[in-house]
Structure 1
Amino acid sequence: MSPDWLSQVLLPWVLASVMMAMGLNLANSDFAHTWRHPRRILLGASLQILALPLLAWGLVVLLPLSPLAAAGLLLVSLVPGGATSNTFSYLVQGDLALSVSLTSIAAVLAPFTLPLIMGWNLEFLSISSPELRLPYWHTVGQLLLVTLVPVLTGMLLRPLLGTAILEWVLPKVKVLTGIAMIGLVAALFVSHAQRLPSLFSIETLAVLLMCVLSMALGHQLAKRLHLPHASVRAITVEVGVQNAGVAMMVAFTILQQPGIGLVPLLYGLLMNVPVFLWMFACLWRDRQLAAATHIT
């Protein structure tokens, strides 16, 4: 299968279907309780929108990354979370409503902030050129079509389908879109295997540090602000898990720069390692606490 067809045609459609599935899962009640606690929203959104790009720049300054790899890492820091972060929040028994709210805020803002900030990043990295640039409104339009519009479409369809149909459709949609996204990432990985850096490389280190440090930052700040246990976990996941599919689409489809897209592709694969380890640690701790409580 042609790498160009995968990135130019299939990736935007699969990404849009994943975002629409997320919209089908959203209801007004998901947001009502969360917005009564604006401090949690403000912390999570600030970490995603402000702290994460600054963390990425810190890694770019400290690590000897190539300009294109640095651009890929900075691009990952600018994309919103996605259905993956909501799934991890659910699995780790975090505040799912908070997770969904933070994902939704990022999905609304990212189409407008990403092309602007990424354009500046390319200039700072001295790799901006007429061939390598993000035309602002064109990029905004494409991002809206594959992120915000599908989410809103799913939310509008939700009340029209009815409870019975939703209960039958949603599990199947989740499985299908999840398989499609995993399959696409695997296909992109295979098609670009010769260009991908070794798993023992500076790019791998940058990706893993980005994920681990962002999760640690979210976790520690949320704990220091004495947020509820479930909110701490939701913020940890939302800050640490980015939507690599959006970053890949920007790199492969809009910029048409596989060199930039390889780091988001690597991130999409490797971010699961620290997240799964942390998730299992949380679940083990929950079992230990439950056992201690039962004995008491």
Structure 2
Amino acid sequence: MACPVKLLIIFFLEVVTSVICTLQNASTTGSSKLSITAREEFPYSIFEKEVKSLLFDISQNESENLQIRASLLDTKYAEIDGNATQSVMGGSRTNISVKVKGVFLGRTWMSLQVNKAGQSGRADDGQYDKPGLERSEEQSEWYELPEKYAISVRRKDGVLSHIFTGLVIVLVCVANVAMGCKTELQVIKDVLRRPIAPLTGMFSQFVLMPMISFAIAKMLNFDPVNAFGLFAMGCSPGGAASNAYSYLLAGDVSLSVTMTLCSTVLALGMIPLWLFTFGEMVIYDTDVKIPYENILTSLAGLIIPVGIGLLIKWKLSRVAEKIVWGIRPIMIIFLILVFTLGIYANLYIFDLMRDKPEILLAGALVPYLGFIFGGIVAFIARQSWKNIRTIAIETGIQNTGIAIVLLKVSLPPPDNDISIVPPIASSIFTPIPLVIAIIAHETYLRCFKKKEKEELQLSDTTENGHSEEMKENGVKQIHYHQLDGSDSGDEKNHVQAVV
């Protein structure tokens, strides 16, 4: 047991040290008796190209005059409009106004710096924090105050942007209705009777893909908002496109449809679960709060159409057939709108991609690694090559439509605009290896398989020619039979011809 006298001495020394530090801080920070209070609440939000005045109340009790100037950490997102330096008379109570102009959507921080004549000797007294400031003769008396003011610049959504967002929501809902209409429940029951393949696919979709997207976001040092967008996409499996790719690449379409339906329904619980656990870790160092209620509402609004489609399929089969038939022209119209109206309304996304090329890399890595590891997991589970192709396709293809709607509707600005960039980048890169595989598969079918078919037809023609020749010679048929083992070897393959 420790000596009481020793513990008492240690406690006394700690108290004395604390008092000395407090007095030193009071002598340094309180010597100027400067008090700055912001009137606005921070983080403060402004629009692009908008100028806002931020007011600060200044209280300075000494007789010496002060100069105060504002600076921004990153002028790419916002800049100081007008004169950034203002004077404060000694012994006065006044306020200063700092004009800030939004430049581009994002987040930055503003700090205030103080210049007081005769204070250059305090450069190393610990009174002010000076990150990033180089000591020169002109800057030797400027010191940065420790308080930082967060400023977020948001994009002003125009009419076209709202129209495009509405079209995306409508399309995803219509696609989910169509998916329900073309789903054969009996086929799904048959697939689920052998659950190894769908369970393997569910593991790849809901465990493997979130971990891959999380690891890539950490590996590339994504900022919290983009990391959250990439992770949300990795948690959103399925999509009607995977069924078409499975068909074109000779996969198991029944398994593909079953996995798509199951993943869409399970997403209602799995996506919030992942975002509540690893999602918090992704954005732990930001003030953004995950709006789980909005996410659940968005997912419910996107999954309910699947149930509506199933109900239509069950009660109105003819109507369901018309809906499935009509989804193709709707998709064509939507793609035209995406590559015209969508690009024009969201040109900022290309600026973000240009400034952050790691987003493009992540957009390619997530689906490509999904294809590879999904196939490996299916191979380990001893699935057929047909099922391996299907599970690999279902794993790598993410439902970027659900991810974009979820992020766009749920997150506050500017995070809703920034976070959708990784899903869009992924939607650009995902089809590339699939299209290459389809071309290779079709080439193989048209060239090598065609040659095999021609050889088979030639063989059939030759056999038919021999048959005709035997008929001309009066041979009706030939019987082959094995003789007993007691016979000689030459008689084991005895041929009897019937004339």
Residue pairs, 1:1-296, within 5 angstroms: 1-7=159-165, 9-126=166-283, 131-136=288-293, 138-146=294-302, 148-163=303-318, 165-177=319-331, 179-180=333-334, 183-184=337-338, 187-196=341-350, 197-198=353-354, 201-256=357-412, 257-287=416-446, 290-291=449-450, 293-294=452-453, 295=455
Aligned partner letter, 2:290: R
Rounded Cα–Cα distance in structure 1 between residues aligned with 2:334 and 2:389: 27
Asked if structure 2 preserves the Cα contact closer than 8 Å seen for 1:94 and 1:233, the reply is: yes
Rounded Cα–Cα distance in structure 1 between residues aligned with 2:285 and 2:163: 25
Aligned partner letter, 2:426: Y
Q: Kindly tell me: are residues 48 and 111 of structure 1, through their superposed partners in 2, closer, same or farther at Cα, counting changes over 3 Å?
A: same
Deviation at 1:280, TM superposition (A): 2.4
Deviation at 1:192, TM superposition (A): 2.1
Asked if structure 1 preserves the Cα contact closer than 8 Å seen for 2:210 and 2:234, the reply is: yes
Aligned partner letter, 2:424: L
Rounded Cα–Cα distance in structure 1 between residues aligned with 2:309 and 2:344: 31
Structure 2 unaligned residues grouped into runs of 5+: 1-158, 457-499
- Name the structure with the higher helix share: 1
Rounded Cα–Cα distance in structure 1 between residues aligned with 2:257 and 2:249: 14
Asked if structure 1 preserves the Cα contact closer than 8 Å seen for 2:362 and 2:426, the reply is: no
Identity in percent: 22
Asked if structure 2 preserves the Cα contact closer than 8 Å seen for 1:44 and 1:235, the reply is: yes
Rounded Cα–Cα distance in structure 2 between residues aligned with 1:185 and 1:155: 31
- Name the structure with the higher strand share: 2
Name the structure, 1 or 2, with higher relative contact order (CA <8 Å, separation 6+). 1
Rounded Cα–Cα distance in structure 2 between residues aligned with 1:63 and 1:239: 22
Bigger radius of gyration among the two: 2
Rounded Cα–Cα distance in structure 2 between residues aligned with 1:286 and 1:32: 32
Rounded Cα–Cα distance in structure 2 between residues aligned with 1:185 and 1:51: 31
Q: Kindly tell me: are residues 178 and 25 of structure 1, through their superposed partners in 2, closer, same or farther at Cα, counting changes over 3 Å?
A: farther
Asked if structure 2 preserves the Cα contact closer than 8 Å seen for 1:208 and 1:274, the reply is: no
Rounded Cα–Cα distance in structure 2 between residues aligned with 1:182 and 1:111: 30
Aligned partner letter, 2:160: S
Q: TM-score, normalised by structure 2?
A: 0.54
Asked if structure 2 preserves the Cα contact closer than 8 Å seen for 1:119 and 1:134, the reply is: no
Deviation at 1:216, TM superposition (A): 1.0
Rounded Cα–Cα distance in structure 2 between residues aligned with 1:144 and 1:86: 22
Q: How much is the aligned-residue C-alpha RMSD, in angstroms? A: 2.5
Q: How many residues align?
A: 292
